[in-house]
Amino acid sequence: MKFNNELFFEAMNEIAERNLLDRDELNKIIENAFFKTFHSKIDPDARLELFVDFKNKKFQLINHSKLVVSDDEYEEKYRSLEISISEAKKTKKDIKVGDEFSEEVDLFQNTKFSSQVKQLITQIVREKRKEVVYNKHKSIKGEMVEATLLSLENNGNAIFKLNDDTIAFMPAKFRNMNIKLNIGGKTKLYVEDVLEESKDSQIIVSNGSPTIIKRIIEKNVPEVEEGIVEIVKISRIAGTRSKVSVKSNNENVDPVGAIIGSGGNRIKSILEKLSGEKIDIINWSDKIETHIANSISPARVVSILDKKDEDGNIIKDHKIVITPNIHQTLAIGKNGSNARLAVELTNTRIDIISIDQANEKGIDIIWNGNVKKEELSQVESNSPKSKNNYQRNAIKKDKFDFDSDISSFNEDIQSNENFGDYNDQISEDQDFSLSEEEIKQMESNFEIDKELLDFGMEEKDESK
């Protein structure tokens, strides 16, 4: 192997550009790699000097501490440390045995040495790149950015390039599958995190974050941007449905009405940007029963009761929600989506049962929901009188499986183990984070380019 200046400088320029390094930083990396390798593998006390001239593509490593020895003592295997007196006198006539001699190091006389230098430069570049990427981009965490899609993987992960050519990574669980992504196409993304310890995939992006909903509403509703209307919390199943809890800081402003807009103009504009995702805007309340009743919307609620254990003790943050018979599946939603969003929005576990089921269990009804006792018959009369007919209509219209949706939701929601799954699907804090295993899998996509490992090297033609 021999050193090729042309290849070396081409590779160094490419490394600097790809890894956001300036020339001074790159020079320090190169110097560090050669000095550290020489000191650890050849001579720990060597006084070295490195000359790197990118303009003229010149490269020299000088060892100023080679020991001059007699011709009889000189051994070829120590040529990196010593020079014979006869050879030294060709350059400096007055030199003596025991003096130090300065000479350029033949960089690739030792293949193992050159290989170790390359590996160390690669390692240092990786570490420096992490530092540069983190420091440059940590301020955009929580912001919206524009990015170009580079690739979509079979497992649903997506790789993007930001406008400064930095790579960003979107795990499949962060994607809104309703939004079509095209290779080479630009799209707006939310920066979930900027990792300090990772590889090229330090920037984690999403198009399914609840914060995206907030940003869209802020841009379309001046009252929100000005702080007159406050978004208290958002729960979201990206691409399916979101619930937004709002309150007004001005008694003369209706928070829900402000977001809906005159004739629904504002909410229409918001929905257009959500690619078919449904959104419920509800009034926040500091009274938990009222907040739960609002969160279950569009279903109506007859009663909200405390859940109790076998000894009759109230279970904290666990409620029984009783709905009109007609609204039970509506309260639960397709695959439990409506109820799961309500759970997230209110931070309360809920068991959803119909009024018939409550009566069968002997539960005393307290009319503290948003359906009054005298209204119930009118609410129920809006459905076919036969329960079986209602089930068929619901399945036909909304594709609900009446029995399985109700039973699976109410069984699972009472299990501590399964309850966590609901939050995992929709929680901004839990869902939009990465496990160690996911980070390792993610990093495997971003190994430094293999061709850079061979920079500055070419095969030596032994026949010449």
Whichever domain contains 34, its CATH number is 3.30.1480
What is the spatial distance between Cα 98 and Cα 146, in angstroms, rounded to a whole number? 65
Of 237, 245, 259, nearest to 345 by C-alpha is: 245
- Same structural domain for residues 335 and 353? yes
Whichever domain contains 442, its CATH number is 2.40.50.140
Q: Name the phi and psi angles at 309, rounded to 5.
A: -85, -175
Mean pLDDT of 407-431: 40
With vertex at residue 162, the alpha carbon angle to CA 145 and CA 449, rounded to the nearest 5 degrees, is: 155
What is the spatial distance between Cα 177 and Cα 182, in angstroms, rounded to a whole number? 12
Check residue 321 and give its pLDDT.
95
- Same structural domain for residues 334 and 359? yes
Q: Is residue 321 within 8 Å of 310, Cβ to Cβ?
A: no
Helix (H) or strand (E) holding 274: none
Q: What is the CA radius of gyration of the chain?
A: 34
pLDDT digits (tens, 9 = 90+) for 355-404: 999 999 999 999 999 999 999 989 888 753 333 333 333 333 333 344 44
Q: Is residue 311 within 8 Å of 382, Cβ to Cβ?
A: no
Of 240, 244, 195, nearest to 216 by C-alpha is: 244
What is the spatial distance between Cα 357 and Cα 406, in angstroms, rounded to a whole number? 11
Q: Is the pLDDT of residue 212 over 90?
A: no
Largest CA distance in the chain: 116
Q: Is the pLDDT of residue 455 over 70?
A: no
Mean pLDDT of 166-186: 87
Of 265, 264, 418, nearest to 340 by C-alpha is: 418
CA dihedral (427, 433, 434, 436) positive or negative: negative
286: alpha, beta or left? (left if phi > 0; alpha if psi -120 to 50): alpha
- Of 135, 169, 195, the residue at which a domain comes to its end is 135
For 90, the domain range is 2-135
pLDDT digits (tens, 9 = 90+) for 24-42: 878 888 888 888 888 888 8
Q: Is residue 357 within 8 Å of 419, Cβ to Cβ?
A: no
Does residue 378 fall inside a structural domain?
yes
- Same structural domain for residues 426 and 291? yes
Write the CA distances from 249 to 214, 217, 257, 339, 451, integer angstroms. Answer: 17, 17, 14, 28, 59
Give Cβ neighbours of residue 238 (< 8 Å, ≥ 6 apart): 175, 176, 177, 178, 207, 208, 209, 277
CA dihedral (330, 336, 341, 347) positive or negative: positive
Does residue 56 fall inside a structural domain?
yes
Torsion, CA 257, CA 259, CA 263, CA 266, rounded to 10:
170
Whichever domain contains 389, its CATH number is 3.30.300.20
- Of 102, 135, 168, the residue at which a domain comes to its end is 135
- Same structural domain for residues 334 and 380? yes
- Same structural domain for residues 53 and 95? yes
Q: pTM higher than 0.85, yes or no? A: no
Q: Which of 13-17, 82-86, 447-451 has the lowest mean pLDDT?
A: 447-451
**Number of domains within the chain:** 3
Check residue 423 and give its pLDDT.
35
- Same structural domain for residues 418 and 300? yes
Of 288, 284, 287, nearest to 320 by C-alpha is: 288
Q: Is the pLDDT of residue 278 over 70?
A: yes
